[in-house]
Amino acid sequence: MPELPDITLYLAQLTPRILHQPLLRLDVRSPFVLRSVDPPPSALEGRRVVGLTRMGKRIVFSLEGDLFVVMHLMIAGRFRWYPPGKKAGGKLVLAVFEFADGLLFLTEAGTKRRASIHLVAGKEGLQQFERGGLEVLEADLAGFRERLTSENHTLKRSLTDPRLFSGIGNAYSDEILHRARLSPLAHTNRLTEDEIATLYQATRTTLQDWIDRLSRETGEAFPEKVTAFREGMAVHGRFGKPCPDCGSPVQRIRYADNETNYCARCQTGGRLLADRALSRLLKKDWPRSIDEVD
């Protein structure tokens, strides 16, 4: 799922392409992607794009006349930019935004249609999409501490809760916690002041570093490889591979469609966190320490 650094990159490349340009047509090609009925897509035609913003993990196009396009890419949704005249063939294309200088395709891989478009009239209509998460890159330590400790959860859950923090998901939370040297299962009400300060700095540094890195790699081109599994990540998506800091194999906790990756030696004092599926299967044979698997 595209998170704050990835969405920031999208906005940076969309701005010179579509800001102040009229949207000639919105062609909705999948009946599942459009989640609203009023206003209709035809109401957007000919209106200039006057703003591009992020709301959590959503991207918002502001158009003349207080009309808004609110998009959530979910797990497999992506944007593609093509020159005028490109044919929108294939089942992956959910919608096409037509501008004079190019076409913006919204695509989604796989069979599950989770990406969404909402068309909204009036700024008050945007409030339904505001989850209230803290923008960490704009917050001070006191604000971060207050938000982090407002509810008692594991660090992994807190960082990825859109009501608590904005734009952080499964991938970058793994990277943040590795940089902070904190367990993903540590509880927020048990952190010391030093650990909170370390987590605050790790969150800001990780997000900003990846924004800068992706911007350098993309340059002036439109981002084509937006993925949750990036070359250069320390632990996310690297199960079994060596931790870049200590060399121990990266571990994982699997649950539903997600997994948490971490380094036991760097983050949990060598203790292996129980994987629900494997630990139940192996029971007494489940290793307790990274030294048993190194």
132-168 per-position pLDDT tens digit: 999 999 999 999 999 999 999 999 999 999 999 999 9
Give the whole-angstrom CA distance, residue 219 versus residue 49. Answer: 23
pLDDT at 284: 45
Of how many residues is the chain composed? 294
Domain with CATH 3.20.190.10 in the chain: 4-129
- Name beta bridge partners: 99: 102
Taking every pair of C-alpha atoms in the chain, what is the biggest distance, in angstroms? 66
- Helix (H) / strand (E) element for 216: namely helix 193-218
Please, which pLDDT band fits residue 276 given cuts at 50, 70 and 90? low
Q: Are 88 and 62 in contact (CB under 8 A)?
A: no
What confidence tens digit (pLDDT) does each residue in 103-112 have? 999 999 987 8
Where b means 16+ CB within 10 Å and e means fewer, 88-111 reads beeebbbbbbbbeebbbbbbbeee
Dihedral, CA atoms, 42, 44, 47, 49, nearest 10 degrees? Answer: -150
Give the whole-angstrom CA distance, residue 196 versus residue 172. Answer: 17
pLDDT at 88: 83
Give the whole-angstrom CA distance, residue 16 versus residue 19. Answer: 6
Give the whole-angstrom CA distance, residue 209 versus residue 9. Answer: 12
Contacts of 216 (CB under 8 A, 6+ apart): none
> Would you say residue 215 has pLDDT above 90?
yes
Average pLDDT of span 281-294: 41
Q: Are 176 and 203 in contact (CB under 8 A)?
A: yes
Establish whether the linkage from the previous residue to 39 is cis, with ω within 30° of 0. yes
Fold of 136-292: Helicase, Ruva Protein; domain 3 (1.10.8)
Please, which pLDDT band fits residue 220 given cuts at 50, 70 and 90? very high
Sheet bearing 47-55, strands edge to edge = 22-23, 47-55, 58-63, 67-72, 116-121
Average pLDDT of span 272-282: 60
Domain with CATH 1.10.8.50 in the chain: 136-292
- What's the CATH code, domain 4-129? 3.20.190.10
- Number of Cβ within 10 Å of residue 221's Cβ equals 9
pTM of the model: 0.92
Give the whole-angstrom CA distance, residue 173 versus residue 154. Answer: 12
DSSP H stretches of helix in 155-192: 155-160, 170-180
